Amino acid sequence: MLVNVKETWKGINKTEVTIATGSNDGDCGIPFVVGKEYLVFATLSDMYGDKSLTSIICDPTTELGNAAEGISILGQGQVPTQDVNSIDNRKMIVLISGGVVFIAGLVGFFGWYQSKKNKR
C-alpha cells in the first residue's frame, strides 16, 4: 500500500513509502481505509514476500484520531525532506516502456519491409 508520509519519527525521510500488510486480520493485515490518516508503526520484514516495511495488527498502528497517547510518547516528529512522487515515477516508467516497445516495433516493421522489398 502506498502511503503519503506527513510526519516521521524514525528511519523514514520520504514523503511516500510502501507499507506491506495483509488483506485482513486472518493474515495479520491492517484494514487501512483510503483517505484516513494513521499513526503507522512498521518494521522491515519478509512476512508478505520481499523484505519491506510491514505493519501488522500486532503493531500499535492506529487511526490518527486514536493516536494521542502514541504521539505523546513519541514526541515531536519531523517532516520528511525527501520528496517522492511514486505515481508520477510509475507513469514515466510506463511511458518509457511504451516508447521502447514502439521503437522496437518500428525497427521490426522496417526490417520486415526491407526483406520483402529485397526479395522482389
The pLDDT of residue 97 is above 50 = no
Q: Assign 46 a pLDDT band (cuts: 50, 70, 90).
A: confident
Architecture of domain 1-84: Beta Barrel (2.40)
SS3 content of the chain, % helix, strand, coil (to 5): 40, 20, 45
DSSP H helices, 1-120, are 68-74, 86-119
Model confidence over 21-42: pLDDT tens digits?
Answer: 888 767 888 888 888 889 998 8
Indicate the pTM of the whole model.
0.65
Residue 119 predicted with pLDDT over 80: no
Residues 87-99 have a mean pLDDT of 51
Domain spans, the chain: 1-84, 85-120
